[in-house]
Amino acid sequence: MTIAQRMGEAHYGRRRRIEHGRLLEVAQPVSPKMTALKIRVIRPILNLGLRLLGLYRHGYRQYHSLVVRRNTLALRNLPAPFEGYTLLHLSDLHIDLDPSLVDSIGVALAGLRYDCCVMTGDFRNSTVGSWRDVLAPMRRLLALVEAPVYAVLGNHDFVDMVEPLERLGMRFLVNESAPLAWGGEVIHLVGIDDPNIYATHDLEHALRGVPDDGVKILLSHSPVVHREAAAYGIQAVLAGHTHGGQVCLPGGRMLVHNDKSPRHMLRGAWRAGTLQGYTSVGTGACGLPVRFNCPPEVALHALVRVP
């Protein structure tokens, strides 16, 4: 089956058109998103400023200081064999920004127990240009993950990345679902395409063949789809995109955020009615390999039964 068929022909065409526009935009000195200005002017100025202020080294240390966060997903009608089943959650790797991050992730993963790994998008740093620099570090990272890996694309990623990364051993869900079998029972991972920049997500398409009464966990690059997810009977949403702010005030207060979701959904565990979710603060960083007062994370989500 082609990527277009997997994603849905209309959404695939839309994504391709937007990707093409982004490739053209970087060559324009002035554009609506100011892409060229950000890459060629603002980012180098920020880099230089942090170095002159003596802050770069501190931010870089935080970027490599991953923490392990543990969360519980209490799911109604969870089959008994899945009690304690654990999902390892990585997000926003931007792995080509500094491939040495793989080593730090390896340290964080050492000794952890999990049954499946999910990755919620943004494998590369830039939103334009070549993405092939992600392949070598992703090969190294996947060799460290001792479980099946499922993923969705983020707003930094191009659809051409799907097949090369799948050849490395992971499985993308591009408006698709995949059954997770355990102890003779099944639950369903559902994955949608980026709901922000591309707006090519399609839950109806993704849920084809998934029983209405099945346990469904949604992978989405952003938590912004929470209302739609609840309407489709999703029990839990795992997301990223926000980086938790990446650069925060002491105590972790965000200075800026890039998502339209309610503020309580921008990092960590959250609820919206009966829907529960978790928004990763990210495993990497974007733009520059620095973080301040917002350490990167790997998250472990343990599934528990609700009668």
What is the predicted pLDDT for the residue at 25? 73
* Sheet bearing 268-272, strands edge to edge: 176-182, 185-191, 216-219, 236-239, 275-279, 268-272
What does the CA dihedral 206, 208, 214, 216 come to, rounded to 10 degrees? 0
On the question of pLDDT at 38 being above 90, the answer is no
What is the predicted pLDDT for the residue at 294? 96
8 A C-beta contact, residue 26 and residue 128: yes
Summary mean pLDDT of the chain: 93
**pTM of the entire predicted model:** 0.94
What is the predicted pLDDT for the residue at 29? 65
What is the predicted pLDDT for the residue at 34? 60
> Rounded CA gap, 89 and 300, in Å?
6
- All structural domains of the chain, each given as residue ranges with its CATH number in brackets, are 3-306 (3.60.21.10)
On the question of pLDDT at 91 being above 60, the answer is yes
What is the predicted pLDDT for the residue at 42? 76
What is the predicted pLDDT for the residue at 258? 78
Which stretches does DSSP call E strand in 32-146? 67-76, 86-90, 116-120
On the question of pLDDT at 134 being above 80, the answer is yes
Tokens at residue 300, please?
A: 């472990």
Mean pLDDT of 66-79: 97
pLDDT confidence bin for 30, thresholds 50/70/90: low
Mean pLDDT of 124-144: 94
How does pLDDT run across 176-235, given as a tens digit for each residue?
999 999 999 999 999 999 999 899 999 999 999 999 999 999 999 999 999 999 999 999
Helix (H, G, I), strand (E, B) or coil at 109: helix
On the question of pLDDT at 266 being above 90, the answer is yes
